[in-house]
Structure 1
């Protein structure tokens, strides 16, 4: 049986993620109290369900018990994954204001921003239990695509996610390491290259002819190669490495694509995302 636990901040897209899982053939349960998770998984498993997705968040009065429950389930069931969704406070405030929804922790004289901060504190212990996704700048379609990438992963061992981004849009919340390549020559200032991306051959050739860009690439590659075994020994399931340039279109995309290709050739499990292109 494969069990996916969807959790995270209110307004970060958990409903969209759960719907994407349902469309992919999972039996989905929304807003389950944490302490009912083991019995629910056992009951559905006995009923013949082999792929189950459950949403648990701060609406559960027994949320503090969830980390221990997840550890026990992993010891007994094996394939238990956690998908943790988060977004910036600015994005969440905007989403709640636009939809006029009430935050589950609002009330008692606290503001929406204070409710979000409180919820972030309550969920802090869950973020490291699985795969974190920053949905601040994601469209619903992009989130559905990322969820499908997530369920296609082999649960055994470490998965490395390389993601490009633009600093002017903010640093990804789910990044474990952030590398800044803004000091390198910018293809955006070349009229023929400006409308292209780091995936296009003219941009690739431009950056490969820049000694500084090649030196930066080698430094990042060597750093990741050196420390990756430590994360594997630490039984980590996911490691997110973010490469940022100004707009997230040229330099960061080039570096992300090249690093992804290199580590795939070394037989590592690798995912690639380009936040600003998606």
Structure 2
């Protein structure tokens, strides 16, 4: 797995245009990677024909960007036509010749893991048709994508990665090329154990629990009725303020220590209401002042 190649050049010029093309095996994590880049303020489009890439780059980078790097991410998979794959290298070469910093990233995964993932989710492979087995569809897809994998700048094998680990890998690759910390705020349920990769853990189980409100129980901390309920609780507001104050004081110390990535985990009993609400609120708070803020809800995602 080519994990040591940063997604972007370490010296990011705000006038440069960076285009990351994400492709790879269906079920390998392309959607997760694209969503991660979207959280990192890339302009993201999924399943775009290669002939439209120049128009996308032109449209997405026009206007005043206030000196910020112009970053675009595009997902490409087997839903595109075979002819589109043949044109892709030429299109990317022409964009690079025009001054665009092009990065092709391939999400790979072992066949047996892909088969297990499809069996567990009961999703249908995009190439699966009548009289074609899942294994055959994966083999056809791998053959179609081989030319793109051969020219990829970065290959990520997600076989042994869960969703959070893949998000962290993609975000870390991005964070290596920028100043400041990339922050991952994640919610979790204490009853399912502590996250192993947490740098800081905050316990929200002492806060009023929407679970005991019958009309709120089926919802999550992302839903407006739960948000309104928790926002009206003084103790929740105090918890948020104290947590933000502590992070404001200590995150700069980690930046001075050349850390590029910090995971802040907030847990409650079920990982659906209080922790989710606080993660979303903290992420919104820090997005007002810095780039590179991610969220992950272990019991929801």
TM range (shorter): 0.5 to 0.7
Corresponding residue number in structure 1 for 2:29: 13
Separation in structure 1 between the aligned mates of residue 133 and residue 74 of structure 2, nearest angstrom: 29
Q: CA deviation at 1:129?
A: 2.5
CA offset digits 1:12-65 (Å, max 9, x no partner): 001110111011111110111122111111111114561111101111122221
1:37 counterpart = 2:53: yes
1:55 counterpart = 2:71: no
Asked if structure 1 preserves the Cα contact closer than 8 Å seen for 2:104 and 2:154, the reply is yes
Distance 1:57 1:111, change over 3 A: same
Separation in structure 1 between the aligned mates of residue 121 and residue 64 of structure 2, nearest angstrom: 38
Structure 1 residue runs without a partner (length 5+): 156-278
CA offset digits 1:193-251 (Å, max 9, x no partner): xxxxxxxxxxxxxxxxxxxxxxxxxxxxxxxxxxxxxxxxxxxxxxxxxxxxxxxxxxx
Structure 2 residue runs without a partner (length 5+): 1-16, 179-301
Q: CA deviation at 1:152?
A: 3.7
TM-score (norm 2): 0.49
TM-score (norm 1): 0.53
Distance 1:96 1:75, change over 3 A: same
- Pick from 171, 174, 179 the counterpart of residue 151 of structure 1: 174
Instruction: Tell me which of the two structures has the higher relative contact order, counting C-alpha pairs closer than 8 angstroms and 6 or more residues apart.
Output: 2
Q: CA deviation at 1:151?
A: 2.2
Separation in structure 2 between the aligned mates of residue 102 and residue 81 of structure 1, nearest angstrom: 29
CA offset digits 1:159-188 (Å, max 9, x no partner): xxxxxxxxxxxxxxxxxxxxxxxxxxxxxx
Asked if structure 1 preserves the Cα contact closer than 8 Å seen for 2:22 and 2:30, the reply is yes
Query: Residue 97 of structure 1 aligns to a residue in which SS?
Result: helix
Q: Larger % of helix: which?
A: 1
Q: CA deviation at 1:115?
A: 0.5
Separation in structure 2 between the aligned mates of residue 28 and residue 152 of structure 1, nearest angstrom: 18
1:95 counterpart = 2:101: no
Map 1:182-201 onto structure 2 (within 5 A). Answer: none
The structure 1 segments of at least 4 consecutive aligned residues displaced by more than 4 Å after TM superposition are: none
Q: CA deviation at 1:154?
A: 5.3
Separation in structure 2 between the aligned mates of residue 52 and residue 14 of structure 1, nearest angstrom: 15
Distance 1:153 1:74, change over 3 A: farther
Asked if structure 1 preserves the Cα contact closer than 8 Å seen for 2:85 and 2:148, the reply is no
CA offset digits 1:84-128 (Å, max 9, x no partner): 101000000011111111111110421100100110111111113
1:130 counterpart = 2:146: no
Q: CA deviation at 1:153?
A: 4.9
Separation in structure 2 between the aligned mates of residue 48 and residue 101 of structure 1, nearest angstrom: 41
Separation in structure 1 between the aligned mates of residue 174 and residue 61 of structure 2, nearest angstrom: 18
Asked if structure 2 preserves the Cα contact closer than 8 Å seen for 1:57 and 1:63, the reply is no
